Structure 1
């Protein structure tokens, strides 16, 4: 499997590395860890190539970028290619499938669960989505008011309640992705470089990762009521 390493990506933790694959079978999959080797091992595990990092031997690193500062957004050369119809289609399928699971969790959660916060959970310094409800809003905030506008695509106003927001944001993003140009590219002084391919892979990745955290928080809240 071909991999692309983003050193000092600073996504899950400040200064951490991220390892991506653009292989369609694993579209939107990202491994993360405190260094490049750990990120590649995590990617291998997520792609079913072997536990405990053993699958990393079957990964071919074809591109590596090193950020000047942790969290300073950049792109791979691979991101500069026009997005293919299959990449767009894979993204749309992942978005629809994942949003359905997120909505199932949030719709079933009573107020006490929505307001639950795990006191032992560590977040990067910039993150403020601590409770179940805040994390669900964060998923929509990221797709509708961060990723899309970075390509000059239309954002949308946030709905007042979290279920409506997830429903409307999901529909909005899928509609925009269905018709967006395959070769968009923008560079922002404060947000770095973004392209159509980069936004597609980030959209395909983001909610899936957050959904695992969301489900864990819901389970903890049910086990620790009040």
Structure 2
């Protein structure tokens, strides 16, 4: 069988396309955003009201929607995170309202995560990493799924080892966690468990003293 150079080229292109799709072709990413972090992290909005604002950035999160689709071509949001060479990327996401299962994966299609609360801290595979959010088999079959998501890139490896950086992160900061924050005027000082009882006894003792003194005074007048 004679194979020309053109046939070889065509075969190579076909194989390349197959491999490319094997790596990154789930992507129904018709909605693509570049991740815009809130920096520094001390500037995070910790106001509970920001959770109810679609344009809000509670704890540095942003909002996206996995649109409902009644066909096999869902509309998945993809987020591009840049500046990640030799660093770790922290991925956090929460469905809103809580309960819907969502998934996230990068363009390598490795280590996808599916949960109602997503957390991962993984080594970046490139300077720019594309993350796709999508639904599991059952979550988007009747309606769209709204989610809050956040990416944080680790510090310069020359300053702090990326693995140590991941280990020191707060893994419980999701937008709904702001609902558990106590009001600023809450008194957190230790309270004496017997304070109320002791106070009541003091009042009773004082009242008893007054009554006894009055009785003695009355007896003195009678005599």
Scaled by the length of structure 1, the TM-score of the pair is 0.25
The structure whose residues are more often helix, as a share, is: 1
Scaled by the length of structure 2, the TM-score of the pair is 0.26
